[in-house]
Amino acid sequence: MAGRGVNRMEDPVEQEKIRRGPHAYSPVDGKHGAYIPIEDPKRDGGHPAYVPMAYPKVMDKTPKPDFADFKNKKDLGRDPYIVYEEAVQAWDGQISKSIVRNKDEEEAWLAAHPEPKEKKAKSA
């Protein structure tokens, strides 16, 4: 008979909510273990709470080329799939060049790539 495992948690739903947040896993009261929420980043032996990093950041928001834009074009003179792959590679290089690793690089990128005036008017 296959083992079903032992579940000795008082409230698995509450434990799952804690597990998905900042937590520390530690055995308690003879059980396999429990997820203890961390309110203080230095609590429980210095386990820090998860803090999303600001950098690296992708600055260029150009969408990836869509194959549907290439598959019905007959004037390309080549296989549309090859043209699409080349467009994706060019897009990937453009996105890779827009990755910044700190505030200085971000400010330099924004200075070199000003936002178009049409977008500013629409977003305001």
Per-residue pLDDT of the chain (124 residues; tens, 9 = 90+): 455 655 665 666 666 665 566 666 666 666 666 666 666 555 555 555 555 678 889 999 999 999 888 887 777 778 888 888 999 999 999 999 999 999 999 999 999 988 876 655 555 4
The pLDDT, as a whole number, for residue 110 is: 92
What is the rounded distance in angstroms from the CA atom of residue 5 to the CA atom of residue 10? 15
Going by C-beta distance under 8 Å and a sequence separation of 6 or more, which residues neighbour residue 58?
Answer: 95, 98, 99
Domain spans, the chain? 12-46, 57-123
The pLDDT, as a whole number, for residue 23 is: 63
**Phi and psi (nearest 5°) for 120?**
-65, -40
Asked if the bond preceding 56 is cis, omega within 30° of 0, the reply is yes
The pLDDT, as a whole number, for residue 82 is: 86
The pLDDT, as a whole number, for residue 71 is: 80
Residues 11-50: b if buried by 16+ CB within 10 A, e if exposed? eeeebeebeeebbbeeeeeeeeebbeebeeeeeeeebeee
Does pTM top 0.75 for this prediction? Answer: no
